[in-house]
Amino acid sequence: MEHSIDTRQLPELAATLHAGDRVLLSGTVYTARDAAHKRIAAALRGDGPLPFEIRGATIYYAGPTPAPDGLPIGSCGPTTSGRMDPYAPALLDLGLAAMVGKGQRSPAVCDAIRRNGSVYFCAVGGAGALACKCIRSCEVVAYEDLGCESVKRLVFADFPLVVAIDCHGGNLFERQL
């Protein structure tokens, strides 16, 4: 099935999505990779403010390259999601609506997706130069010293994704062909 969804709708629409569905996602998304997740975990322990409201948010595991002249962002492909698995269950329990990345997730993350009615999308790896064409704006919102791994607020416009893990237990990585 194919869906066009705004990120603000994800908390309500996640239950309608199933592994294998194609989604054109639009709206606000935050980038965060390994180093940013470590700082977010520290903020959750009381060591500073969170870089954005977690409840209802979508995180894209990406570290965009600098923007060339005339564009809002450079190449912006997904990174391997498993590196964020130690942090994802806590964020999901705080109301994170969705994650975007590539690759399979740990059983703990899959359980947290089901428990919280969230969703995990996969983006096409190796196509960051094409993916940036679906990003309308990019603004650093936290941890600027991390460079490409800083937390950025992106605005997606029909960013193509596949539902990899749904809140019903569907998981593309566990399907038998």
Q: Report the DSSP beta bridge partners of residue 80.
A: 102
Could you report the per-residue pLDDT of 77-126, keeping only the tens digit for each?
999 999 999 999 999 999 999 999 999 999 999 999 999 999 999 998 77
Tell me if 107 sits within 8 A of 9, measured CB to CB. Answer: no
**What pLDDT is stored for residue 175 in this prediction?**
64
- pLDDT band of 131, cuts 50, 70, 90: confident
Tell me if 119 sits within 8 A of 173, measured CB to CB. Answer: no
Distance from C-alpha of 36 to C-alpha of 154, rounded to nearest angstrom: 15
Name the more confident of 177 and 18. Answer: 18
Q: Which of 71-75, 124-128, 136-140 has the highest mean pLDDT?
A: 136-140
**What pLDDT is stored for residue 94 in this prediction?**
97
Domains and CATH numbers, the chain: 2-174 (3.20.130.10)
What's the number of CA atoms in the CB half-sphere (13 Å) around residue 29? 32
Mean pLDDT of 151-160: 97
Q: Which two tokens stand for residue 104?
A: 């399979």
What phi, psi does 42 have (nearest 5°)?
A: -65, -40
- Unique residue bearing structure tokens 């089901």: 114
Distance from C-alpha of 90 to C-alpha of 69, rounded to nearest angstrom: 38
DSSP secondary structure letter of residue 45:
T
48-57, 134-143, 168-177: the lowest-pLDDT one:
168-177
Strands 22-31 and 151-165: antiparallel
Dihedral of alpha carbons 90, 62, 100, 171, sign: negative
